[in-house]
Amino acid sequence: MNATTPPSPLPGDFAVVRMGGRTGRLIRLGQFLNGDGFADYEHAFVHVGDGQLVEAQPGGAELRPLTVYDGHPVRWSTGRVPLTDAQRTAIVAAAHHYIGTPYSFADYLALAAVRLHLPMGPLLRGYVASSKHMICSQLVDQCYQDAGVHLFTDHRWPGYVTPADLADLLR
C-alpha cells in the first residue's frame, strides 16, 4: 500500500459517496438549501463487514453489497475515526437494527428550518432527533451514537447531520 492508497474499510467504518442522477441532484439541492453549499458527497452508509453495507434508501434502510458503489468517488472513515473492536461491533449491530427504517425527505426540510432558525422549537427538534425515519447521514450518526461514539463535538441536536457534515469530518 502506498501513501495515496487508503486502508481497507473495516466493519463499523462509514463512507460518504458522490451520487449521480436525479436523486444525487435533489440531495445536492437539499444540502445547498441547508447551508452546506454544493457539497461533493450526497450519500453515506455504514460498512457492516462481509462486503455489505447498510444505508438509508427511499424505500427504507437496506442491507446491500459494497459493490453498488464501484466506480463512484468514495471517502472512508477508516483510520480517521478511531474505534475499538467493541465499538465496531456495536455500530454494526445498530446498523442491522435500523434495516427497514423509513427514509424521510422531510428531514432535509426540517434540517433547513433549523439552520434558518425558524421558530419551530421542541417539535422540530424531536422530529429531527427521531430514529423512526432517517436520511443516510442520520443513520450513520445514530449507529455511532448507539455505540457511544459521538462524531461531532459541536453540541448539535441529535440527527442534525447531513452527508456534507460527515464528509467535512473526513477532510
Laid out side by side, the sheet with 43-49 consists of 62-65, 52-55, 43-49, 14-17, 74-76
Instruction: Give how many domains the chain has, as a whole number.
Output: 1
State the Cα angle at 64 between 157 and 39, rounded to 5°.
45
Asked if residue 9 belongs to a domain, the reply is no
* Secondary structure element (H or E) that encloses residue 43, with its range: strand 43-49
Q: Averaged over 75-103, what is the pLDDT?
A: 96
- Residue at 147 is within a domain: yes
Range of the domain at 136: 14-169
Average pLDDT over residues 71-100: 96
Check: CB of residue 64 under 8 Å from CB of residue 55. Answer: yes
Q: Bridge-partner residues for 63, per DSSP? A: 54
Asked if residue 129 belongs to a domain, the reply is: yes
> Does the structure show a pLDDT above 90 at 88?
yes
Q: What mean pLDDT do residues 103-116 have?
A: 72
Answer yes or no: is 43 within a domain.
yes
pLDDT at 121 over 90: no
Query: What is the reported pLDDT for 99?
Result: 98
Top pLDDT among 132 and 153 is at: 153
Say what the pLDDT of residue 157 is: 76
Lowest average pLDDT, out of 49-53, 78-82, 130-134, 153-157, goes to 130-134
- Asked whether residue 6 is assigned to any structural domain, the reply reads no
pLDDT reported for residue 28: 61
- Is residue 28 in a domain? yes
Higher pLDDT, 52 or 125: 52
3 is a domain residue: no
Asked whether 65 and 51 are in contact (CB, 8 A), the reply is yes
Q: pLDDT tens digits, residue range 1-54?
A: 333 445 689 999 999 998 766 665 665 666 566 555 545 788 899 999 999 999
Q: Could you tell me if residue 42 is inside a domain?
A: yes
**pLDDT at position 61 over 90:** yes
pLDDT at residue 138, as a whole number: 92
Q: What is the CATH number of the domain that holds 137?
A: 3.90.1720.10
